[in-house]
Amino acid sequence: MAFSMMQLFLLGALGPRLVGELGISPTVLGLTTTVGFGTAAVLSPVGGRVVDRVGPRRCLVALLLVSAAALGLIGAAPGTGLLLAAVALGGLPQALANPATNKAILAAVPPPARGSVTGMKQSGVQLGAFAAGLPLAALAGGIGWRGAVWTAAGTAVVAAVWAVRMLPADPPEGTSAAPGPRPSMIPRGTVAWLAGFSLLLGCGIASVNTYLALFGAQRLGLGPTAAGALVAVLGVAGIAGRVGWSRVAGRPGRAAWLPGWLAAGAVSAALLLAGATLLHPLAWVAAAAVGVFAVSANAVSMVLVMQRAAPGRAGLDSALVAAGFFAGFAVGPPLFGLLAEAGHYGPGWLLVAGEFAGACAVAVLWAVRDRRRTPVVSV
């Protein structure tokens, strides 16, 4: 999970260096996120079906090798063209990550432990944010940003070798998929609601991931390493939040209401970022709050998918919800980038707060409908 999005976290954490050395604008920096997540959104439904057919181990090994290739190309990019092509290639690992890991959990983990295990694996994404924002950003200060990106690429290859040697074998190809007609790739019911929630949530999270370090450097007066540390704070808080809230979501009757509550907390976090334009230390509190609330809400939505998925559809349903999340990541940063280009970070963070508020409304409406449809059993 960490490597599936490592390229985008690195582009965000190294944004001040890229803007300076490659001469790209803040708008182009946001476009990298659009390209990566747009590709992932398009490929996710197909990726979910592939995981259901061929099994999680093959897909996880492929994920790590393609991540290594994308990172290697980013490190070699002389300008915008190859950089965007490499980010587009990185959309494939993103499309495979949630279906493959969710399928592996369903196959190997008993139901009572799935919530906490899902939170731990979802925290891998934030581990990637931490690695990009602190050790790799610091390494870039010593050997250059290209060397830091190539270091991440080599580590992905090592992880692929580990996956081949350690993960349990997949069933014969084709036996993982449910029998019968080809499953629909149109989200319905709970999956449709969670996809809409994830779309709005992703818009806000992507803007924070992409522009937080640049905001720190341009408006808060932080150096490149300290600005990258803001991303690391978000990552550490996201790890704790995803593990903790997913464990809560794994308890009966708890998961349905959590997305709305967490999205409400995310609104407060975005407002703190807006306030940081006037009171700079608030940025550190806000970064942690985004991790605890906004980032954690995505993990809870994955717990809900696994709880509600029909037999044989876990991979596809996970992919459809992830496609909504990735579509939000594609849409959010360009909108924010227009404001960042003009130096209007305060209105940009208010836009993020509005996106989180929309996600909160969708989650609460779904939870109310779900409660009305769920029969009450008297004991």
139-188: per-residue pLDDT in tens?
988 898 899 999 999 999 999 999 888 877 887 765 555 454 455 667 67
Selection from 141, 130, 192 nearest residue 366 by Cα: 192
Tokens read off for 245: 């809230």
Selection from 211, 219, 77, 233 nearest residue 145 by Cα: 77
pLDDT band at 376 (very low <50, low <70, confident <90, very high): very low
Per-residue pLDDT, averaged over 119-123, amounts to: 83
pLDDT over 70 (residue 123): yes
Percent of the chain topping pLDDT 90: 34
Which helix (H) or strand (E) is 362 found in, with range? helix 345-373
Per-residue pLDDT, averaged over 243-259, amounts to: 82
pLDDT over 80 (residue 97): yes
Q: What is the DSSP string of 164-180?
A: HHHSPPPPSTTSSSPSS
pLDDT band at 278 (very low <50, low <70, confident <90, very high): very high
Per-residue pLDDT, averaged over 253-277, amounts to: 92
pLDDT score recorded for residue 10: 87
Tokens read off for 97: 């990550």
**Angstrom distance (rounded) from CA 243 to CA 121:** 8
pLDDT score recorded for residue 184: 60
pLDDT score recorded for residue 263: 96
161-185: string of b/e by CB count within 10 Å (b at 16+)? eebeeebeebeeeeebbeeeeebee
> What type of residue sits at position 27?
T
283-316: string of b/e by CB count within 10 Å (b at 16+)? bbbbbbbbbbbbbbbbbbbbbbbbbbbeeebbbb
**Angstrom distance (rounded) from CA 271 to CA 355:** 12
> What type of residue sits at position 360?
C
**Angstrom distance (rounded) from CA 345 to CA 206:** 15
Strand, coil or helix: 24: coil
22-68: per-residue pLDDT in tens?
777 777 777 887 788 888 888 888 888 888 888 888 999 999 999 99
**Angstrom distance (rounded) from CA 27 to CA 166:** 42
| Measured CA distances, 244 to 16, 131, 237, 301 (Å) | 32, 20, 11, 14
Residue 104 CA to its chain's centroid (Å)? 19
* C-beta of residue 71 within 8 angstroms of C-beta of residue 155: no
pLDDT band at 378 (very low <50, low <70, confident <90, very high): very low
Per-residue pLDDT, averaged over 3-18, amounts to: 83
pLDDT over 90 (residue 369): no
pLDDT score recorded for residue 79: 82
pLDDT over 60 (residue 298): yes
Residue 85 CA to its chain's centroid (Å)? 20
pLDDT score recorded for residue 311: 66
pLDDT over 90 (residue 293): yes
pLDDT over 80 (residue 296): yes
Per-residue pLDDT, averaged over 220-238, amounts to: 85
305-342: per-residue pLDDT in tens?
888 877 667 778 888 888 898 888 888 888 898 898 88
| Measured CA distances, 248 to 88, 115, 275, 304 (Å) | 35, 8, 31, 12
Half-sphere exposure of 250 (CA within 13 A, CB side): 19
Per-residue pLDDT, averaged over 73-83, amounts to: 88
pLDDT over 50 (residue 377): no
